[in-house]
Structure 1
Amino acid sequence: MTIRPVTEDTVSAWAQLAARVWHSNSETLRQAFLAGQFPYEFLYWQGEDAVGFISLSLRQDYVEGSHNRPTAFLEGIYVLPNYRKQGLASAMVDYAKAWTRQQGLQQLASNCELANEVSQAFHQSLGFQEVSRTVHYLMDTAAD
């Protein structure tokens, strides 16, 4: 098992996995990757099969709880159901921590939906500390 950066040759495998997390079209994601919109994508390989991915970024904007800019950010992580509970996600987060240090940074941030208790437990089990909770609002003004 190994973790490697996504390339043009492996982008389709990444896009199929990422589409499951981001509820998006895999072709749209593939094109966005090829256009440079996802520069820090990594696949977890078991033999010839991509069984998970992790998406990282360097956020220049404010990140809750961080006093540093940029801040390394875990944008997405996914492991195929048949490969879960085997330590793959933990290995990918360890990879992300090493990647963060390679960028000269000291913090890795992440977030999840308030109602996603499974993701919250996952983050806490890996050593992430909750720093805040927010509720977002939106108002349509076109009908006024």
Structure 2
Amino acid sequence: MLIRLVEGQDTESWSHMRTALWPETVDQHRSEIAEYFAGNSIDIVQAYVAVEGAEVVGFLELNLRNFAEGSRSPKLPYVEAWYVKPAFQGRGYGKQLMKFAEEWALSEGYVEIASDTEIDNVTSIAMHKHLGFVETERVVCFLKKLSVD
């Protein structure tokens, strides 16, 4: 098992795994990855991959946010994406990806790291708790289209 910063050669694998995580945003993946490698990303400040042999089997993306539920920190690293291919889950890849993210955060002087998951993703919730995350809030989001009458 190898955890490392994502590299240009990982673009295709990274894009496919992002699509598995967020199928509704397929068109955005390649452009967001290109922005990251160009140093222009507003969504990703650090990205790591888990590699087994020659196969990229997982990834984690970090951003910096000015707010996270339950935190008083004015700025903190936020796990925007954390994914391990199903065939490789339960083998420590997710844990090691998070460890790398936490080590980077500590090296940058941060004292907290935040994350979120869908309310019904019991596997992710359990993994977060297993790794020491504390649930701070549950929320249901709403959106309403407005029309001028």
**Is TM (by shorter chain) over 0.5?**
yes
What's the CA shift for 1:105?
A: 0.3
What's the CA shift for 1:104?
A: 1.1
- Residue 33 (structure 1) aligns with: 33
Tell me which of 20, 45, 48 is aligned to 1:42. 48
Matches of 1:79 and 1:52, distance apart in 2: 4
- Residue 68 (structure 2) aligns with: 63
**8 Å Cα contact 1:58-1:72 kept in structure 2:** yes
Matches of 2:82 and 2:112, distance apart in 1: 17
**Pairing 1:116–2:121 present:** yes
Give runs of aligned pairs for residues 86-97 of structure 1, distance below 5 A.
86-97=91-102
**8 Å Cα contact 2:45-2:64 kept in structure 1:** no
Tell me which of 57, 77, 82 is aligned to 2:82. 77
Where has structure 1 moved over 6 Å in runs of 4 or more? none
Name the one with the larger helix percent: 2
Q: What are the superposed Cα offsets for residues 84-114 of structure 1, whole Å, 9 maximum, x if unpaired?
A: 1111111111111111101210101001112
- Residue 128 (structure 1) aligns with: 133
How much is the aligned-residue C-alpha RMSD, in angstroms?
A: 1.6
What's the CA shift for 1:30?
A: 2.0
Percent identity between matched residues is 28
Unpaired stretches in structure 1, ≥5 consecutive residues: none
Select between 110-119 and 44-53 the one with higher mean Cα deviation. 110-119
Secondary structure of 1:9's aligned partner: helix
**8 Å Cα contact 1:58-1:71 kept in structure 2:** yes
What's the CA shift for 1:31?
A: 2.0
Q: What are the superposed Cα offsets for residues 60-107 of structure 1, whole Å, 9 maximum, x if unpaired?
A: x32111111211111111111111111111111111111110121010
Matches of 1:102 and 1:7, distance apart in 2: 21
Matches of 1:43 and 1:102, distance apart in 2: 19
Q: TM-score, normalised by structure 2?
A: 0.86
Q: How many residues align?
A: 142
- Read off the aligned partner of 2:120 and give its amino acid letter: A
